Amino acid sequence: MEKHVVVIFPHPDDEAFGAAGTIARFREQGIPVTYLCGTLGEMGRNMGNPTFATRESLPEIRKEELIAACQVLDIDLEMLGYRDKTIEFEDRQQIAEHLLGYLNKLKPSLVITYYPGYAVHPDHDAFGAAAVSAVSQMDQADRPELWALAIKKGKEADLGEPDLQFDITATFTQKFEAIIAHKSQASGILGGINQGPGSLDQIVRDKLSHEAFYKWVF
Ligand SMILES: [Zn+2]
């Protein structure tokens, strides 16, 4: 059983779409989970549907949504204060050291982050790379396991099938509530998923009731 799980992603809502079912499962087992969230997603294109955010109000709105989503999932939250859409230009080692500070304090048995190069968005790839670097810099004796989330289409051709594949139907409700907590983003992203026949609820269920990770080999 895990001791403490640390989730490291750059944007509010990354945790909800990518790992919330798995996170909820850990919480049901009483395992503490901390989300280290890189930015406030303040450069996001979605402004709510119908629109209720502006470029000026978006950072505060997304911060409130992030806090609400973490309450739904019953996890601790640390906001790291990076600027959205610029993480790839930050000093990688500096971010890794920042993350290391948290990891040394929290002493997780497991870290979940994006698989660098297979995470589609430059922020995702850069933050995932910094997280992998941070964990790799820990002493082998203290080093947590690392699960990497790859979302790039066709990733299996390079990486093979994910090592861990979870049916998260049992915690789907928590996951869906966490997604919906990100009000300014949810309808835009769910609308993008909702292409093709069938009800939105069923499509969302089909698409999101499965979470998969690669075990990182150091
Ligand atoms: Zn993201």
Mean pLDDT in the chain? 94
Specify the CATH number for the domain of residue 95. Answer: 3.40.50.10320
Going by C-alpha positions, the residue among 67, 43, 41, 62 that lies closest to residue 52 is 62
Q: How many domains does the chain have?
A: 1
Contact 44, 84 (CB under 8 A): yes
Range of the domain at 210: 5-215
What is the distance in A from the centroid of ligand 1 to the CA of 10?
6
- pLDDT of 194 above 70: no
CA of residue 36 to ligand 1 center, whole Å: 13
CA–centroid distance, residue 14 to ligand 1 (Å): 5
Query: Whole-prediction pTM value?
Result: 0.95
Centre of ligand 1 from the C-alpha of residue 203, in Å: 21
Band of the pLDDT at 200, cuts 50, 70, 90? low
Convert the pLDDT of each residue in 101-156 to its tens digit. Answer: 999 999 999 999 999 999 999 999 999 999 999 999 999 999 999 999 999 999 99
Contact yes or no for 5/48 (Cβ under 8 A)? no
Q: How far apart are CA 54 and CA 52, in angstroms?
A: 7
Please give the distance, rounded to the nearest whole angstrom, from the Cα atom of residue 13 to the centre of ligand 1.
7
